[in-house]
Structure 1
Amino acid sequence: MTQTLLNDRDISFQLYEVLDTEALLRRPRYLEHSRETFDATLETARKVAERYFADHNQKGDAQEPTFDGERVHLIPETQAAWDAFAEGGFLAAHHDFEDGGMQLPEVVLRSCMAYFNAANVATTGYPFLSIGAANLIKSFASDALKARFLPPMLAGHFSGTMALTEPGQGSALADIKTAAEPDGEGRYRLRGHKMFISGGDHELTENIVHLVLAKLPDAPPGAKGISLFIVPKILVNEDGSLGERNDVALAGLLHKMGFRNTTSTVLNFGENGGAIGYLVGEPHRGLQYMFQMMNEARIGVALTAACLGYQGYRYSLDYAQQRPQGRLPSSKDPASPQVPIVAHADVRRMLLAQKAYVEGALSLCLYASSLYEDQHSAEDEATRRRAGELLDLLTPIVKSWPSRYCLQANDLAIQVLGGSGYIREYPVEQYYRDNRLNPIHEGTEGIHGLDLLGRKVMRDPAAYRLFREEVKATLGDASRHPATQDFIGPLGDALQRLDAVTESLRGQVAADPDRGLANATLYLDLFGRLVVAWIWLRQGLKAAQGLDRDDLAEADRDFYRGKLQATRYYLDWELPQINPQAELLLQGNRTCFDMHDAWF
């Protein structure tokens, strides 16, 4: 097999043709950068990922972490990978120069993370969470807490986690039981239990900084009563030196079907007097703060799903091009040579579906990262505000669509390999198991459907209008190029269908929220199909414009033709599936809602 992590040509296409990342170089924050520095950073990420992450992807799956009652044991390659990631500067890459960072744009950092995810999602989980935890501390903690915890986190001496879920409460964070009480010394004592905490215990770093949601004694009920605390595994003195072990205990490791080399833990806080914690920001605003890390993680989970799907696609493509089997239906001579299975139409169908899913998902994730970048570094307030509103609206789709459809891509990769697909001697079965976690990580489809329809669309119709304007603008651009004019009608009609469904659901939810939101997951899927059709039209248009150049190498022509064909596939095969979905939603179909518990 000649398969590599990702298609470098596609990364370049997304960054410099679809997103015009070079335009960022005109912003004051990035004046010292160039396309060459961006490319050099991406090349470094690829090399580190290939050398230190890809080498133990299957080993980490087969030899998952163990706990002997005192310490967690990981395969030694995990430590080497963490050290290489930290030494490469990726933990601090997007931070300011004066803080030891590279001032790297968010979209370039996430492109670097794509290589690490493609190489080994489980080991990448440790730095992924640590980057998010450091970002949250930087945004909301006091200067004193930043000074104590940020430098060692950015240098790779400390790692970070997010500790939200409890044994009795999954996504219903308003009902968490973990309690925090002031200790009279400006600190707090936490008591409670958290579970499914990824990276919750290990010895990769000198310390682990847990970001913990808990409730103060005077907390109002519900989500408005949640506060956020920094709770280190080992206490940190004011001078930065390490103190004694905090009252945080590992109760045990959980054993997952995928992501096995990322420890999944049950943590007990305060079994011996209370775990010492430090309040982040103001009391009772913890969930609001944590949403920064949660939304960042949602885009990160989507990128993980895209990269796992991408790996399966590239492996199954390489296999199909090399594996001879059978003959075309038109061949009647049993003595004739067998053809590679890619010659069979149904195999091409499965490969084209994978291409549409994974390259669409990657483009969607990088687009979301570009919105995050614009929200924070665009030079005018209107652009920053517009990017923030679009990102807020689209985040449920960005998280959910790749998690669902790149898992389907992994399923198709197994099918392409046939019997070889489901044995562990080939990697595609692991890609599927790893990816199966992502439709649950950072919120299920059901939760994001409720968020999209019940919160984003119902409460902020202006953001929906902004999205429509973006789609209309792309349709206008595509109408002026002969190679993309055929795509205008299908996407334009689909947008009208979405408008009608959205308007109908607004009325349904206003009249009866329980029934009106009962089919929110279906709406999420319909909306997501249209968003990705638009993402594909953006790619198709850039490919068509690329083909207009006279100086193209044949490999570039094939690349662009492949993008146009995948655009056509998505608009012909995937987008029309919104029509029966729209009918169910317009009817306010009650079949699932009216099912009684006793009837199951």
Structure 2
Amino acid sequence: MTPYAPPLRDVRFVLEELLEHGSLSLPGFEEVGPDLVEAVLEEAGRLTGEVWAPLNAVGDRQGCRRREDGGVALPEGFADAYRAYAEGGWNGIGVAQAQGGQGLPEVVASAVQEMLHGANMALGLCPMLTAGAIEALARHGSEMQQATYLAPLVEGRWTGTMNLTEPQAGSDLSRVRTQAVPCPDEPGDHYRLRGQKIFITWGEHEAAENILHLVLARTPDAPEGNKGISLFLVPKFLVEADGSLGARNDVRCTGLEHKLGIHGSPTCSLSFGEREGAVGYLVGEAGRGLNHMFTMMNEARHKVGIQGIGVAERACQQARDYALERMQGRRHGEPCAIADHLDVKRMLLSMRARVDALRALALTGAAQMDRARHAAEADERAAAQARAEVLIPVIKAFATDQAVEIASLGVQVHGGMGYIEETGAAQLLRDARIAPIYEGTNGIQALDLAGRKLARDGGAALSSLLDEVAATAAALTARDALRPLGESLAGGVADLRSAMSVVLTAGADPQNGADAIQAFATPFSSLAGHVLCAWQLGRSALRAEAALAAGSDDDFYRAKLASADFGLRHWLPEGRARLAAIEAGMASLVSVDPASL
């Protein structure tokens, strides 16, 4: 596998030139300047490039092993690499100082997350889930829970998990059966949990001192359905009053899932309460477990999109380096590397344009999250929150779908060698394939966008965003050299507005609205992803042209222009075809009998 080069220059381009370090001007970040951000990114690059990345192939080959006692052995080097991450304070970079973190903007933490996953996706999953647990406890935990559990999580001494899925309850969490029984006769305000959870990422390991499981379960008197589900904190080791670790809790890893990829990540089946019952503590309000868990899930969904971008970046690097070295065929009568063949150039440019666009969109979403949390005015916070909530399902679904396509193109660039495991190209495709599935499948993300997010404000938040996209299209069109890019982007905006009108109108039909949302959600989400990514490429083109006009003789900016040109003139038209699919209606979907297929 090609060594991973952290994309520091590309990340700086987005933070400095597209976002103009806007998050640093918000209240609470007065002590954070561009020099500090630069130092953080440089150090993250060293950790990910030198410590984490060399273990990526090791984790894939060795995988994890469950011992007879229920413990899990990680791949060689994984525990030390995680500890290097925790001891360096990386787990708390995006956590508020009041909670023991470093208080850096979300946009900086997100940039670091991309490098973690690009270096080693299987290992990166551990702190990603812990970040979600920190957010959930910070928002919904009691004062005692925060005092007991937040600091070790922020420091990385303990890790967190999210326990939703059961054998009979996947996306439909209303079917959760795990029971939580109150124990009024026992000391301490706790419950005893009994049940089984599956697909629990980093559910058992020994890289950290303790694991805090956030578990969805039902109390005995809870009603059926979503309103009967509560959220509980179940530590692997119980915690004494002085903060020291006590007895092992009644939670056990009963098996490891045998997965297509991310072999270095222990994905566990967990059994709660095989003996006396697992001690758990209610988090937040009883019956509002799903609401509280969505705090963790929304954080995770944004990071899953970034995870896909990290893997796609590595696939892009791997394909480029191989294409430059692999001599095959001739061009203009002379022997050449495959990188000189126009079809290979097409694939490499397609990969690069998509990665550039996805990174910019994901960091734009993170910047909106910063504004929603820290802007001085309530109206500005509310507007940013609405925009972030529209962007997150697009970032999660579109970035991860594209990551699979990008990794697949990476295999194709390698030709037959890409199908051989030793090159590492196949691992990236296998690893990327899980991201469109977990934290809510991409179909669920599309339904969230087309159903919930559009319907609640009649599309106002997305329309406001499209006004900015249209302004970028106008700025491009006003420049002779960039006019074709502006015209393409303007066409994409018009298509997405038309699609939004169709979805809103059809979705409001009292008889067939639910079916219409189901039918149109995925093509609508894809169209939105293409247009919003093209917007980022248009912004990049404007910046790159300005830099070159100012006398910057830099191959970096010429590459950004090439990436934007390809993305807007070759890739966006593919996405615009989704409008035709929406306008075609849903008759074929409604009428077909799946048994006949």
**Structure 1 residues 262-301: aligned runs within 5 Å:** 262-301=265-304
Alignment check: 8 A CA contact 2:26 2:371 kept: no
- In structure 2, what is the equivalent of residue 455 of structure 1? 452
Task: Classify 1:79/1:2 alpha carbon distance in 2 versus 1 (closer, same or farther; 3 Å).
Answer: closer
Task: Classify 1:2/1:504 alpha carbon distance in 2 versus 1 (closer, same or farther; 3 Å).
Answer: closer
Find the aligned partners of 1:95 and 1:151 in 2 and give their Cα distance.
11
Tell me which amino acid in the other structure corresponds to 2:298. Answer: N
- In structure 2, what is the equivalent of residue 489 of structure 1? 487
Find the aligned partners of 1:321 and 1:589 in 2 and give their Cα distance.
46
Alignment check: 8 A CA contact 1:6 1:310 kept: no
Tell me which amino acid in the other structure corresponds to 1:281. Answer: G
The alpha carbon displacement at 1:479 in A equals 4.0
- In structure 2, what is the equivalent of residue 405 of structure 1? 402
Tell me which amino acid in the other structure corresponds to 2:116. Answer: F
Deviates more, 1:575-584 or 1:29-38: 575-584
- In structure 2, what is the equivalent of residue 523 of structure 1? 524
Normalized against structure 1, the TM-score is what?
0.95
Q: Are positions 1:349 and 2:346 aligned together?
A: yes
The alpha carbon displacement at 1:2 in A equals 7.4
- Tell me the secondary structure at the aligned position of residue 210 of structure 1: strand
- In structure 2, what is the equivalent of residue 145 of structure 1? 145
Normalized against structure 2, the TM-score is what?
0.95
Find the aligned partners of 1:85 and 1:13 in 2 and give their Cα distance.
25
Find the aligned partners of 2:147 and 2:424 in 1 and give their Cα distance.
43
- In structure 1, what is the equivalent of residue 547 of structure 2? 546
- In structure 2, what is the equivalent of residue 83 of structure 1? 83
- In structure 1, what is the equivalent of residue 200 of structure 2? 197
- In structure 2, what is the equivalent of residue 7 of structure 1? 7
- In structure 2, what is the equivalent of residue 59 of structure 1? 58
The alpha carbon displacement at 1:98 in A equals 4.9
Q: Are positions 1:123 and 2:123 aligned together?
A: yes
Q: Are positions 1:383 and 2:380 aligned together?
A: yes
- Tell me the secondary structure at the aligned position of residue 92 of structure 2: coil
Tell me which amino acid in the other structure corresponds to 2:446. Answer: G
Tell me which amino acid in the other structure corresponds to 1:314. Answer: Q
Residue deviations 1:159-197, cap 9 Å, x none? 110111111111111221112121114211111111000
**Structure 1 residues 68-107: aligned runs within 5 Å:** 68-70=67-69, 71-107=71-107
- Tell me the secondary structure at the aligned position of residue 265 of structure 1: strand
Find the aligned partners of 1:131 and 1:35 in 2 and give their Cα distance.
24
Find the aligned partners of 1:255 and 1:79 in 2 and give their Cα distance.
21
Q: Are positions 1:374 and 2:375 aligned together?
A: no
Deviates more, 1:478-487 or 1:488-497: 478-487
Deviates more, 1:571-580 or 1:133-142: 571-580
- In structure 2, what is the equivalent of residue 472 of structure 1? 470
Q: Are positions 1:533 and 2:530 aligned together?
A: no
Tell me which amino acid in the other structure corresponds to 1:235. Answer: L
Find the aligned partners of 2:544 and 2:179 in 1 and give their Cα distance.
55
**Structure 1 residues 161-200: aligned runs within 5 Å:** 161-184=161-184, 185-200=188-203
Alignment check: 8 A CA contact 1:180 1:190 kept: yes
Find the aligned partners of 1:301 and 1:4 in 2 and give their Cα distance.
19
Task: Classify 1:80/1:107 alpha carbon distance in 2 versus 1 (closer, same or farther; 3 Å).
Answer: same
Tell me which amino acid in the other structure corresponds to 1:85. Answer: Y
Deviates more, 1:230-239 or 1:455-464: 455-464
Alignment check: 8 A CA contact 1:354 1:406 kept: no
- In structure 1, what is the equivalent of residue 263 of structure 2? 260
- In structure 2, what is the equivalent of residue 47 of structure 1? 46
Tell me which amino acid in the other structure corresponds to 2:532. Answer: V
Tell me which amino acid in the other structure corresponds to 2:343. Answer: D
List structure 1 runs of 4+ shifted beyond 6 angstroms: none
* 5+ residue gaps, structure 1: 332-336
Find the aligned partners of 1:139 and 1:278 in 2 and give their Cα distance.
15
* 5+ residue gaps, structure 2: none
Find the aligned partners of 2:352 and 2:298 in 1 and give their Cα distance.
26
Alignment check: 8 A CA contact 1:178 1:190 kept: yes
Find the aligned partners of 1:597 and 1:365 in 2 and give their Cα distance.
36
The alpha carbon displacement at 1:450 in A equals 1.3
Find the aligned partners of 1:585 and 1:312 in 2 and give their Cα distance.
32
Alignment check: 8 A CA contact 2:372 2:380 kept: yes
- Tell me the secondary structure at the aligned position of residue 204 of structure 1: coil
- In structure 2, what is the equivalent of residue 110 of structure 1? 110
Tell me which amino acid in the other structure corresponds to 2:29. Answer: Y
Q: Cα RMSD (Å) of the superposition?
A: 1.7
Find the aligned partners of 2:307 and 2:277 in 1 and give their Cα distance.
36
Find the aligned partners of 1:453 and 1:148 in 2 and give their Cα distance.
40
Q: Are positions 1:569 and 2:570 aligned together?
A: no
The alpha carbon displacement at 1:440 in A equals 0.6
- Tell me the secondary structure at the aligned position of residue 338 of structure 1: strand
The alpha carbon displacement at 1:520 in A equals 1.8
Find the aligned partners of 2:393 and 2:197 in 1 and give their Cα distance.
25
Residue deviations 1:476-508, cap 9 Å, x none? 443444443332222222222222222122222
Q: Are positions 1:215 and 2:212 aligned together?
A: no
Residue deviations 1:531-587, cap 9 Å, x none? 21112112222222222222x2x3x2x211221222121222222224442123123
Find the aligned partners of 2:483 and 2:530 in 1 and give their Cα distance.
20
Q: 1:419 aligns with which of 409, 416, 421?
A: 416
- Tell me the secondary structure at the aligned position of residue 270 of structure 2: strand
**Structure 1 residues 293-332: aligned runs within 5 Å:** 293-328=296-331, 330-331=332-333
Find the aligned partners of 1:496 and 1:51 in 2 and give their Cα distance.
46
**Structure 1 residues 212-251: aligned runs within 5 Å:** 212-251=215-254
Find the aligned partners of 2:37 and 2:446 in 1 and give their Cα distance.
36
- In structure 2, what is the equivalent of residue 334 of structure 1? none
- In structure 2, what is the equivalent of residue 430 of structure 1? 427
- In structure 2, what is the equivalent of residue 584 of structure 1? 581
Residue deviations 1:403-454, cap 9 Å, x none? 1112111111111111211112211111111001111121222111211111
Find the aligned partners of 2:563 and 2:335 in 1 and give their Cα distance.
27
Deviates more, 1:11-20 or 1:67-76: 67-76
Find the aligned partners of 2:545 and 2:411 in 1 and give their Cα distance.
32
Tell me which amino acid in the other structure corresponds to 2:44. Answer: A
- Tell me the secondary structure at the aligned position of residue 29 of structure 1: coil
Alignment check: 8 A CA contact 1:483 1:544 kept: no
Aligned identity (percent) is 37
Alignment check: 8 A CA contact 2:64 2:72 kept: yes
Find the aligned partners of 1:578 and 1:83 in 2 and give their Cα distance.
43
Alignment check: 8 A CA contact 1:508 1:588 kept: no
Alignment check: 8 A CA contact 1:194 1:268 kept: yes
Tell me which amino acid in the other structure corresponds to 1:5. Answer: A
- Tell me the secondary structure at the aligned position of residue 464 of structure 2: helix
Alignment check: 8 A CA contact 1:403 1:435 kept: yes
Deviates more, 1:28-37 or 1:280-289: 28-37
Q: Are positions 1:37 and 2:36 aligned together?
A: yes
The alpha carbon displacement at 1:589 in A equals 3.2
Deviates more, 1:490-499 or 1:55-64: 490-499
